[in-house]
Amino acid sequence: MEGKKRSPIWKFFSVVEQGGKTGAKCSLCAATVSYSGGSTGTMANHLKFKHKSLINIDNNDKNGNSHSQKLITAFSQRATSMSEEHWQRCTEALACMCARDLRPMSIVERVGFKTFCNTLNPAFKVPGKTTIAKYISISYDEMKEELVRLLNKQIGVALTCDHWTSCGVEGYLTVTAHFVDDEFYYHNCVLATRQTTERHTGMNIAQDLKAVISEFGIEKEGVTALVSDNASNMVACMEHMDGIMHIRCFGDTLQLSIRGAFDDIPSISDTIVAGRKLVSYFRRSVVANNELKVRQKQMHLPEHSLILDCPTRWNSTFDMFERLIEQRLSVYAVVHNMNSPGDARILDLIDSHCTIIEGMIPVLKPLYMATRIMCSEEYPTISGLYPILYILKNHNLLVKDTDCQCGDFQRKVTRKH
């Protein structure tokens, strides 16, 4: 049998036995086609119709060759050859994908990824992660040079910086530049995200900031302002920034005001704690979560999961409140079900909690919208600061016909602004 395999079609097929019958398995898609009597016509048709994107030949037989032979020869040439220039473009695109989508470079070593690339183009030899790292580094250097030239043309650049901690408890400093070019297009670009190993003192942060500013060729006089959160070390940092104007982040200020008002009013803070316990129960219990989905279908409610708020993001508390009200009936049905694991009924929200949540949602919604608007990266936001503050203080946070808890909350937020 081996001596008869002279056709180039066998570059893409291998003989297999299935159920006592002989077949041919395609190495490109793993499909099995019939094979008997030494004829390769079925395999040729498979390549023609299933992998036609790799085939581009004239069906007319002008040279006297068989159609099957022409088909396989053309396919073989396209599937086994790739110019160096084409390979470089594919590798650059692969490196760009890893960088833009934050994919690990080790993805190129995964069997599934290699199989996918081979299906797209068998001629593409997947590079190793070292090569991908090299291409990313080259791309970064080129983009950095272009950005430095663009920044040097600007009259003024505003900077934002944030000190944050990763899930691995590692400290990082991220610096972003914002500017409007000569054609009035708004730009924002991350200059650097650097790991910080020293103590996060004001002086150390200032040194890191100055290093980034110098690295990108930004003159001190060209920095119109620097925006940061209200952390004490960031405030201390500005004392070492040679007189650069410091603007405290409106979103962070609003966060502190709202979260502080939550903590100052026991009835509201107790309601938040009760909501967290109830949501946490559903997130821990597979049985309760499955039962919730059943109840949602029975009651024709949106099949949404409950939301657990994050203490450092007050708007997630608003999301948790809205979802609890939306799913109140389905949640009640689950926790009061006799088959619920444990005594889940004690976790249900009492009437006073529901009353507070229903009253707080219309009060929190304008604050929620203001936070989203002022945290946008698509346009400058400082021009919207005074109009938003005016509307919040004189309309949305103005105490009218609300219950005492909401009224107290509105007054405390206004004072904390």
Those residues whose C-beta lies under 8 Å from the C-beta of residue 7, and which sit 6 or more positions away, are 40, 68, 69, 72
Q: Assess if residue 152 is contained within a domain.
A: no
Instruction: Express each pLDDT in 331-385 by its tens digit.
Output: 999 988 766 656 667 788 888 899 999 999 999 999 999 888 888 777 778 888 8
pLDDT tens-digit profile of 169-207? 888 999 999 999 888 888 989 999 998 888 888 899 999
Q: Please tell me whether residues 244 and 323 are part of one structural domain.
A: no
- Establish if 368 belongs to a structural domain: yes
- Position 103 in a domain: yes
> Is 200 within 8 Å of 220 (Cβ atoms)?
no
Q: Per-residue pLDDT tens for 261-285?
A: 898 999 999 999 999 999 999 998 8
Residues 305 and 393 in one domain: yes
* Same domain, yes or no: 281 and 382: yes
Domain extent for 392:
253-416
Q: Which residue has the tokens 């500017």?
A: 179
Are 271 and 409 within one domain? Answer: yes
pTM metric for this prediction: 0.69
CATH number at residue 207: 3.30.420.40
Query: Is the same domain home to 113 and 225?
Result: no
Q: How many domains does the chain have?
A: 4
- Give the separation between CA 317 and CA 310, rounded to whole angstroms: 7
pLDDT for 329 equals 93
Provide the pLDDT for residue 80: 56
- If asked whether residues 188 and 162 sit together in one domain, one would say yes
- Final residue before a domain boundary, out of 60, 80, 100: 80
In a domain, 149, yes or no: no
With H, G, I as helix, E, B as strand and everything else as coil, classify residue 161: strand
Within-domain flag for 151: no
- Distance between CA 187 and CA 185 in Å, rounded? 6
Same domain, 124 and 179: no
Instruction: Tell me the CA end-to-end span of the chain in Å, nearest whole number.
Output: 86
Q: Does 150 reside within a domain?
A: no
**Residue 64 domain-assigned?**
yes
Lowest mean pLDDT, pick from 3-7, 40-44, 123-127, 183-187: 3-7
* Residues 244 and 270 reside in one and the same domain: no
The answer, yes or no, to whether residue 78 has pLDDT greater than 60, is no
* Domain assignment present for 304: yes
Can you tell me the distance from the alpha carbon of 382 to that of 388, in angstroms, rounded to the nearest whole number? 10
Q: Are residues 257 and 316 in the same domain?
A: yes
Tell me which DSSP letter residue 395 carries. Answer: I
- Do 112 and 57 belong together in one domain? no
Each residue's pLDDT tens digit, 286-332:
988 999 999 999 999 999 999 999 888 888 999 999 999 999 999 99
pLDDT of residue 133: 94
* Phi (first) and psi of residue 57, to 5 degrees: -130, 160
Q: Where among 248, 274, 297 does a domain terminate?
A: 248
Q: For residues 378 and 230, state if they share a domain.
A: no
Rounded Cα distance between 32 and 15, Å, is 9
Q: Which residue blocks in 265-403 are alpha helix, DSSP H?
A: 266-284, 286-298, 314-326, 328-335, 351-374, 385-391
Residues 185 and 215 in one domain: yes
At 417, the pLDDT band (50, 70, 90 cuts) reads low
The confidence score (pLDDT) of residue 41 equals 79
pLDDT at 413: 82
Res. 145: pLDDT tops 90 = yes
